Chains A and B, each alone.
Chain A
């Protein structure tokens, strides 16, 4: 299987302070990887590192929903494909979107249960709705790889499972950081656990039991 990313003895940090140490990680196309660990373990930094390697092939779901709060949900989702249309078309869409685009984005929003919010301002949505809009933007972006930094953290478990299922169905490779152990084991086929900037466990999901992961959450 072709390797998408290969990290060898990689480290990373901010302002001279190392956050990641000795990272050895290979991710192949088609894998569904759950990156786990407690807050501050280095999950986001690892995702940023992977994202930097794959930038133009990735649909990103950042930790904060990162929506433009003054634009409609429609426009926020449309932003996932700004690079695929000419600039004049993008400007036209700001003022007067085509029926085809509206229909397509409405379809995408249906997947995350937000179709009724199509032309509402993103800033008026609740935290969970904003997160779903952010997921919709990544789905509409339609790249083969999706990287999500806790993409379902603001949703309940049922909604979270649903959204993760859609991401896995639409994207070839899925790399997500998450907290919920049972959600991760249900949707990922590989689990990478981090602690204090190091990878402490990297195993197929089916070989890992929920109880194995609990210690890493300081529980």
Chain B
């Protein structure tokens, strides 16, 4: 051991799987004590019964077909633009730090926040719906494509005769190697894109979420259930209708069916006003930037925003995300045996898998929305929704890893196997997934403020409804910084734990073909 390491151990406990897990548990316990978990509703069970009653008797005739079509159309165009821009950015991603920073920023701001800002410029229009997906997705695509380029098998490129032009080199040795991965990932992102555009309906765009919002508010659960079923069918059949060959067709049809914009005036004039007036901090608008008084005013403007909105919002966002992160981990550890052949058996495994796929296909935002209707506004709905959705994803991945583990012939069974073999051997991989999803959970935590939990989104939504766009943009920047900080911290932690090279994308999950079981395709998660 070197001196430096010896001194470090004096101050900090050695970072290992155990101490890191312990620390997260401790933080989550403290956060839990600080969080508001009250059930505010008077009679949640009666409402729950009505909801379940509606869900089992869906009114399929009530489906607003155009809302389903627009949900798909916005997602198709948003993902198409995001993937194209992301591809170009990916080519220079490794070389230009500025591009990496830009992408980190683009993806650290949630689709809903982009939409709330875009509405100010383009109104409730298709442009808003498409760009709200395209902008953050470009950042995500750039990063994931760049990672794929970096990891690609380049053995064929080394054999190319010296003097081959760069373009020929790229077209023959790189693109064919990467294109299938790019396609798989892009088409999977379409699934995430549809979840995003559904949720955009909750803030007024004409997608499924718009009708869900009013159905839930009025207690029309049979109609809501029908829309949800339509959505699950879309997600479940995606492989049938979204293929490389059908993409041009999907894009053309999406363009043809786009709805007309509602209100808003000229987007160009709006953009100009937005950039030069709306988002400029109020005390600086038209003021003399060289005068001391201007900056004194700006300080007086900024201080209460920081102390009364940003700081409490950041604290609540962190409280929610830390509790949800640990709850996600526990749920994943409990759930994964249910999709594992050794634990669930040949018949239990497919059922477990269907349950997990449904759990993660449900948009978290909508889940929180429904739970708030049932339980009343507190952190509890957000914790449940976040931990269930993400726990289902991590549980699914862990199950796949558990299925390809090589156990010795006389390995124990049941709980003994789970505690002595499966979990210890997969724990590093589990931490890699959990730490990777930390930043995703944080972004979502901030967003749930729109629904009334007092995280950062709460203050952002309030600022927008008061037309204080300068405040909203400032708070969105705070959210982006927080999310980038958590991302960087998580990355550092994964490096320290030496789990930074383990797979974190669903596409890298071990396939069952290798384990000798059913042949399953790798599934790719949302948010890379």
The answer on a CB contact under 8 Å between A79 and B156 is yes
State in angstroms the CA–CA spacing of A90 and B161 once bound together.
Answer: 13
Instruction: Classify chain A's interface size.
Output: 20 to 34
Do A66 and B172 have beta carbons less than 8 Å apart?
no
- Beyond A87-B167, A90-B171, A90-B172, whether A64 also contacts B161 by CB under 8 A is no
Q: Does B286 contact A (CB under 8 A)?
A: no
Contact A71 B161 (CB under 8 A): no
Please measure, in the bound complex, the distance between the C-alpha atom of A64 and the C-alpha atom of B154, giving whole angstroms. 12
Q: With a CB–CB cut-off of 8 A, which chain A residues contact B169?
A: 82
Docked pose: A59 CA to B160 CA in angstroms: 9
B180 interface residue, CB < 8 Å from A? yes
CA distance A137 to B160 in the complex (A): 10
For A79, what are the chain B residues with a Cβ–Cβ distance below 8 Å? Answer: 156, 159-160, 172-173
- In the complex, A84→B162 CA distance in Å? 10
| B163 touches A (CB below 8 Å) | yes
A62-B155, A66-B159, A83-B163 given; A75·B172 CB < 8 A: yes
When distances are taken between beta carbons in the complex, the residues of chain B under 8 Å from A210 are none
B501 CB–A CB distance under 8 Å: no
Q: Contact flags (1/0) for B160-182 with A, using CB distance below 8 Å? A: 11111101110111001101100
A143 to B162 Cα, complex, angstroms: 12
A83 near B161: Cβ-Cβ < 8 Å: yes
Interface string of A128-155 (1 = CB under 8 A from B): 0000001001000101000000000000
The smallest beta-carbon distance between A218 and chain B, in angstroms, is: 29
CB of B158 within 8 Å of the partner chain: yes
Interface secondary structure of A, over-half rule: helix
A67 contacts the other chain (Cβ, under 8 Å)?
yes
> In the bound complex, do residue B155 and residue A94 qualify as a contact, i.e. CB atoms below 8 Å apart?
no
- Evaluate contact between A62 and B171: CB separation under 8 angstroms: no
B residues lining the A interface (CB < 8 Å): 155-156, 158-165, 167-169, 171-173, 176-177, 179-180
Contacts A66-B158, A82-B165 known; 20 new A-B pairs at CB < 8 A: A62-B158, A70-B177, A70-B179, A71-B176, A75-B172, A79-B172, A80-B161, A82-B161, A82-B164, A82-B168, A82-B169, A83-B160, A87-B167, A87-B168, A90-B165, A90-B168, A91-B167, A94-B172, A134-B159, A143-B161
The 7 A-B residue pairs with the shortest CB-CB distance in the complex, in nearest-first order: A83-B163, A66-B155, A56-B162, A82-B164, A83-B161, A90-B168, A70-B176
15 A-B pairs whose Cβ atoms sit less than 8 Å apart in the complex:
A64-B155, A66-B156, A71-B172, A79-B159, A80-B161, A82-B160, A82-B164, A82-B168, A82-B172, A83-B163, A83-B165, A84-B161, A90-B165, A90-B168, A91-B168
